[in-house]
Chain A
C-alpha cells in the first residue's frame, strides 16, 4: 500500500497498546488462583479456594440474583423500546422526528452521575422508596440508546418490498410482522438483548444511587473492596464475570453477523458504529 506513517512502527505501537489495554485484565485470573490473602507479587501457589468461598457467601448469591433480575428486565424492555424507535425511524417520516430521536438518545451523552442525581431527586419528590425497580428504570434509560444503535441497522437493511409482497398475498399486518419482519430482524434483537444485559450487569453509578436495601452485583463488589481479606474472592468473582461477559459478547456478535448475512449485506466490522 501507499507509504504513510511507517507500518512497522505502527504495528509495534499497536502491540504495546494492546499490552496496556490487557494489563489489568491479565492480573485478574492470576490473583484469583493465587494461594495468598494479599493481592501482590510474587505469586505463591495455585488454589481454587477463592472460588469455593464464593459458593458459601450468601450475600453474594442474593446480589447475583438481584442483578440477574434487573439485567433481564432491562434487556427485554430496552430492546422492545429500541425496536419501536428503530422501526419508526427506518420506516416512517413524521414531524419532529430528529428532535424526538435525539432526545431519546440523550442519555448516551449525559454523565451518568447527572442521570443518577436527577432520578433520585424525582424519587425523593414523589416519595417513592428506592428498590430494584428504580434501578431497572434507570438502566432502561441508558440501555435503550444502545439498543437503538444496534437495531437501526437491522431495520434499515430490511427490504420493504418483502413486506409489501406479503400484504399483496393477503397476509394481515400482524401476520406479516410475525412471519416476515420479525424473523429478519431476530438476530439483531438477540444481539441487542445480550448487549443490554451485559451493560446493566456491569453498571455501577446509577445502581449505587438508586438501589435500596437489595443491592446489585457491582454495588456488592464496591462494598467488598474495602475489606482486604475479601479481595481474593472478589478476584475470583471478577474472573467468572469476565468469562461470562465474553461468552455473551461472542454470542451477540455471531447473531449480529447472521443478521447481516440474512439481509444479504457483508458483515463489515464497522457496522453498528457507522
Chain B
C-alpha cells in the first residue's frame, strides 16, 4: 500500500464495479429522483418543477392519508406479531425435536409459497367468502346457522392472508438462529438447576432474538407496501397506503403526491425498522467468546 489502492483492492473493486454501477443507476438514481419529484407539483398535464412542500402539507393535513398510513402501520404490525408468534413454535419444533428429515420439513414449509402470490391471495377470498369453503363447511357440520361475514372484506382478512403469505419468511430466520445455539449451554443451564421454562426464557429465547428481529423486519417492511391483498380481500376498510399510492400514479394522475406518500411511508418504515433493530440488539443475548 505505497500509493493509492493495493492490487487486491483494485481487483475487488473492478469485479464489484458492474453490479455496483447497475445499483447506482437503477436504485440510487431512481430513489434520488422520487425524493426530488415529491417536492414538485402536478399542474394539470405538466409537472411544475418549483420546489415546494405542498405535497407533504397535503399528506399531513388531509385525514384520508393519515388514516391510510396509520391503518397500514397497524395492520402490518399486527400481521408481523401474528406471523412471528405463530412461526416461532414451528422453528423451535424443527430445530429441537425433528432429528432426521429437517430438510424435508423446510421443503414442505416453502412449497406452498411457490404458487403465484396473486392466486394464493385470491384463493383466500374463495375460502373466506360468503359462500366460501369455510362457511359452507361450518354450515354443513351445523356449527353456525348463518354464513360468517366478519371474515372477508375487512382488516381481519388482510391480516390472515398476509400472515399466511409471509409465514416461511418468519420461520426460516428464527430456525437458523435456533440452530446456531450451542446445545451445551442448555445442558449447563439444566445442570445448574434451571427447569425447562426458566431455561427457555434465560437461554434459548435471548439467543433466538437475532432471528426474531430478522423475521420481524422481513415481514414488516414489505407488508406496509402491499397492495394486492388489501385490494382483493380488504374491502373498503382494509385499503392501505400502497393502494393510495397506486391510485395517485394511476387514476388520480397526481404522481408527485404519490411520490410524497411513498417517501413518507418509506421514512416511517425505516425509522420503525431501526428502532426494532436497536431494541433487539439491546435485549438479545450474546455468548462471550
A residues touching B (Cβ–Cβ < 8 Å)? 1-5, 7, 10-11, 13-14, 17-18, 20-25, 27-28, 31, 39-42, 81-82, 84-85, 87-89, 91-95, 97, 100-101, 103-104, 106-107, 109-115, 117-122, 124-125, 137-138, 140-141, 144, 198, 202, 204-205, 209, 218, 221-222, 225, 234-235, 238, 241-242, 245-246, 249, 253, 267, 269-270, 273-274
Contacts and interface: CB of A to CB of B under 8 A. Distances in A.
18 contacts: A7-B97, A11-B97, A20-B164, A21-B112, A27-B126, A42-B136, A84-B15, A85-B16, A92-B11, A94-B12, A94-B16, A103-B27, A204-B117, A205-B227, A235-B119, A242-B116, A246-B114, A273-B176
Interface string B90-105: 1011101100001100
B118 A100 contact: no
A122 B16 contact: no
Nearest to A235: B119
Nearest to B177: A274
Contact of B127 (A23, A103, A140, A222): A23
A183 B87 CA distance: 38
Given A39-B126, A81-B18, A103-B23, A218 B116 contact: yes
A104 B23 contact: yes
A205 B228 contact: yes
Contacts of B26: 119, 137-138, 140-141
Contact of B200 (A4, A23, A92, A124): A4
Contacts, number: 251
B96 A118 contact: no
B112 A25 contact: yes
B58 interface: no
A253 B202 CA distance: 36
Interface in B67-89: 86, 89
Interface stretch (B149-157, B258-266, B278-286): B258-266
Nearest to B232: A225
Interface string B116-147: 11111011101101011100110000000000
Interface of B: 5, 8-13, 15-16, 18-20, 22-23, 26-31, 33-34, 37, 86, 89-90, 92-94, 96-97, 102-103, 106-112, 114-120, 122-124, 126-127, 129, 131-133, 136-137, 164, 167, 172-173, 175-176, 179-180, 186-187, 190, 196, 199-200, 204, 217-218, 221-222, 224-228, 232, 242, 245-246, 249, 255, 258-259, 262, 265-266, 269, 273
A28 B115 CA distance: 9
Nearest to B196: A4
B266 A246 contact: no
A81 B9 contact: no
Contacts of A112: 222, 225
Nearest to B250: A209
B27 A121 contact: no
Contacts of A118: 27, 30-31, 33-34, 262
A201 B245 CA distance: 24
A44 B15 CA distance: 60
B29 A21 contact: no
Nearest to B187: A2
Contacts of A11: 93, 97
Contacts of A40: 126, 129, 131-133, 136
B117 to A, nearest CB: 6
Given A28-B123, A94-B9, A104 B19 contact: yes
